[in-house]
Amino acid sequence: MEVLTPQMMAKCDRETIDSGYPEILLMEAAAYGVARIAVEILKKEFEFKAKAELKLTFLVGKGNNGGDGLAAARILKNWGYQPEIIFSTEAEKLKGVNSKNYELASLNQVKYYHFSDLKEAQFLSKIENSDLIIDALLGTGIKGELRGNIKNIINLINQKRQSKPLTLAVDIPSGVIGENGRIAGEALNADYTVTMAAYKRGLLLYPGRDYCGQIKVVSIGIQPETIEKNSDSLKAFKQQEAVRLKPDRINNGHKGSFGKVAVLAGSRGMTGAPLLSTKAALRSGSGLVYLLTAEEIEAQTSVQLEEVVGIPLVSKKGMVSANSFPQILQFSKKVDLLAAGPGLGRSSEISDLMEKILKELELPLILDADAINAIKNLELLKKYKGELILTPHPGEMSALTGISIEEINNNRIEVARDFAEEHGVNLILKGAATITAAPDGRAYINTSGCNGMATAGSGDVLTGIVSALKAQKMSCFEAAALAVYLHGRAGEIAAAKTSNYALIASDIIDNLPQVWQSLE
């Protein structure tokens, strides 16, 4: 499913209208979507209340977002509910389709008030007595910090956060900036967001994502081709993509057919990281997993995971030595890919080794953690003879690019895409709202995951999953995006059992089986 900027969405609206589709019909479809989902919520949450007893309060602004709200209020009135409207502006000043929708709502005797005519206590009592608030104050047309009555309305409601009724946002919670998910001073916290035609970036990027609750995308009559044409190949990765992309498993396959993964990882004191990566690879369908590690720790790691084949490498002071390169080169001919980094440690030896690997190997490489930290010359990425997947967290990305962590997090999509395109790699920029970017400009924003995953070793698990998927013959970009999604789902399932507080990285691996079952 495409993820658009407000400008792209406006172009889709405009082209659809210019092709002869009346604007008021687009708005009617949007309003119908909102009304339909409002009813679903009301039926679920207030099973035993009659329609006429339910209090629905629409907060309506003067732009087209308000127009969607006005039309939805009228539709719900037609369906037997008793909605009330609170206008942030004088209703008589509405223009175009919004003015028409005001006339139609009036004709259907939808009750309305002007915010300016209500005393603060009256307004708050209306809010507190509502069963459902529908937020149609501001949509993608927001400019600058919140101002005027809209600001006052949102401030008043947010002060009463504890007693705030269920809230459904129309298109995007008012105050969230559609372009980038930043907050225009304040924003309304929604439990549900009904968004039109496609995701808007601000719904999936933080902090905006925290304000959206459950997001439902409704079709409003814009052709999929129009959306695709006006999008920039940024998509949301969801369960349906996971089901579609999961690698095939042939019935007459043997362990070699499901991918041979070599993991170059671990050092003295860092034996957990290679175990997490290799175990995650085994739990993600890989037929054979080898652990190439410092000879001093190989015996120790081998006893901990029976299914992994240990390959001891020449080492120095507990870390893999650059002199192990001939062993790695030789071994690389036996496997489908090499994943390097987890727990390797930092030293000039590791940097020299990574340089040799990038100069001389040819098989697909997955670089994480210390393998990323070891890259001193970015030119080697572009010159690498095989395919590359890099999985940096924002700290590693900052070390690679010199861009501050704050700037990376404020521009996750652009930073990930620019790096992938410039250096010809597939990139997973980790962290909340993980971005996966391909060298040709395609990108995914991940929709799974939870804050419990911010725990040591969780990145090592991801490396194992990506490796297994790539070894099962997926393209690098799709293997990376699917791995991020599965990792996030396993994290969510783990957190549901253990809580975000108690979650540890191995819980993510333990819940991979349930995630795989959900794809069948």
Ligand X SMILES: NC(=O)C1=CN([C@@H]2O[C@H](COP(=O)(O)OP(=O)(O)OC[C@H]3O[C@@H](n4cnc5c(N)ncnc54)[C@H](OP(=O)(O)O)[C@@H]3O)[C@@H](O)[C@H]2O)[C@@H](O)CC1
Interface residues with K ion (CB under 5 A) are 135, 169-170, 174
Q: Would you count residue 13 as binding ligand X (CB under 6 A)? A: yes
φ and ψ of 442, to 5 deg: -70, 150
Grouping H, G, I as helix, E, B as strand and the rest as coil, residue 93 is helix
Query: Are residues 108 and 78 in contact, defined by beta-carbon separation less than 8 angstroms?
Result: yes
Q: Residue 135: name its binding partner from ligand ADP, ligand X, K ion, none (Cβ under 5 to 8 Å by kind).
A: K ion
Where does this chain touch ligand X (CB under 6 A) — which range of 134-142, 237-245, 303-311, 336-344?
Answer: 134-142
Query: Which residues pair with residue 289 across a beta bridge?
Result: 261
φ and ψ of 411, to 5 deg: -135, 50
Considering the complex, state which of residue 65 and residue 324 has its C-beta at the smaller distance from ligand X.
65
Q: Would you count residue 144 as binding ligand X (CB under 6 A)? A: yes
With CB under 6 A as the contact rule, the residue among 260, 430, 470, 489 that binds ligand ADP is: 430
In this structure, how many other beta carbons lie within 10 angstroms of the beta carbon of residue 327?
15
Rounded Cα–Cα distance for residues 284 and 263 (Å)? 14
Considering the complex, state which of residue 193 and residue 436 has its C-beta at the smaller distance from ligand ADP.
436
Q: Would you count residue 170 as binding ligand X (CB under 6 A)? A: yes
In this structure, how many other beta carbons lie within 10 angstroms of the beta carbon of residue 12?
25
Compute the least distance from the CB of residue 306 to ligand ADP, in Å.
Answer: 23
With CB under 6 A as the contact rule, the residue among 12, 30, 367, 390 that binds ligand X is: 30
Residues 6+ apart with CB under 8 A from 65: 136, 137, 138, 139, 140, 141, 170, 171, 174
Site string for ligand ADP, 382-421 (x = CB under 6 A): -----------x----------------------------
Query: Which residues pair with residue 196 across a beta bridge?
Result: 218
With CB under 6 A as the contact rule, the residue among 460, 478, 492, 507 that binds ligand ADP is: 460
Residues 6+ apart with CB under 8 A from 289: 260, 261, 262, 263, 278, 281, 282, 307, 308, 309, 468
Say if residue 135 carries a ligand binding annotation.
yes
Q: Which residues of 367-376 are buried (b: 16+ CB within 10 A; e: fewer)?
A: bbbbbbbbbe
Q: Residue 394: name its binding partner from ligand ADP, K ion, ligand X, none (Cβ under 5 to 8 Å by kind).
A: none
Considering the complex, state which of residue 90 and residue 307 has its C-beta at the smaller distance from ligand X.
90
With CB under 6 A as the contact rule, the residue among 4, 154, 400, 453 that binds ligand ADP is: 453
Q: Would you count residue 266 as binding ligand ADP (CB under 6 A)? A: no
Q: Would you count residue 181 as binding ligand ADP (CB under 6 A)? A: no
Compute the least distance from the CB of residue 181 to K ion, in Å.
Answer: 14
Kindly write down the DSSP assignment for every residue of 421-477, as one continuous string.
HHHT-EEEE-SSS-EEE-TTS-EEEE----GGG-STTHHHHHHHHHHHHHHTT--HH
Say if residue 430 carries a ligand binding annotation.
yes
Rounded Cα–Cα distance for residues 68 and 127 (Å)? 20
Site string for ligand X, 178-217 (x = CB under 6 A): ------x-----------x---------------------
DSSP single-letter state for residue 2: B
Q: Would you count residue 438 as binding ligand X (CB under 6 A)? A: no
Rounded Cα–Cα distance for residues 226 and 128 (Å)? 41
From residue 276, alpha-carbon distances to 300, 412, 449, 459, 465 in Å are 14, 27, 18, 9, 10
Residues 6+ apart with CB under 8 A from 17: 23, 26
* Size, binding site for ligand ADP by CB under 6 A: 18
Q: Pull the structure tokens for residue 283.
A: 């739990």
Amino acid in the structure at residue 235: K
Compute the least distance from the CB of residue 472 to ligand ADP, in Å.
Answer: 20
Q: Would you count residue 432 as binding ligand ADP (CB under 6 A)? A: yes
With CB under 6 A as the contact rule, the residue among 68, 459, 483, 494 that binds ligand ADP is: 459
Where does this chain touch ligand ADP (CB under 6 A) — which range of 76-84, 185-193, 197-205, 454-462?
Answer: 454-462
Q: Would you count residue 370 as binding ligand ADP (CB under 6 A)? A: no
Site string for ligand ADP, 473-492 (x = CB under 6 A): --------------x-----
Rounded Cα–Cα distance for residues 12 and 226 (Å)? 6
User: Which one, of 62, 59, 63, 61, lies nearest residue 73 by Cα?
Assistant: 59
Query: Which residues pair with residue 340 across a beta bridge?
Result: 264, 367
Q: Residue 460: name its binding partner from K ion, ligand X, ligand ADP, none (Cβ under 5 to 8 Å by kind).
A: ligand ADP
Say if residue 84 carries a ligand binding annotation.
no
Q: Which of residues 53-92 bind ligand X (CB under 6 A)?
A: 61-66, 68
Q: Which residues are annotated as a binding site for (6S)-NADPHX?
A: 64-68, 139-145, 171, 273, 343, 393, 460
Which residues belong to the annotated binding site?
64-68, 135, 139-145, 171, 174, 273, 343, 393, 430-434, 459-460
Q: Which residues are annotated as a binding site for K(+)?
A: 65, 135, 174
Query: What is the binding site for ligand X (CB under 6 A)?
Result: 13, 23, 26-27, 30, 61-66, 68, 138-148, 150, 170-171, 184, 196, 220
Q: Which residues make up the interface to ligand ADP (CB under 6 A)?
A: 369, 393, 430-432, 434, 449-451, 453-454, 456-460, 462, 487
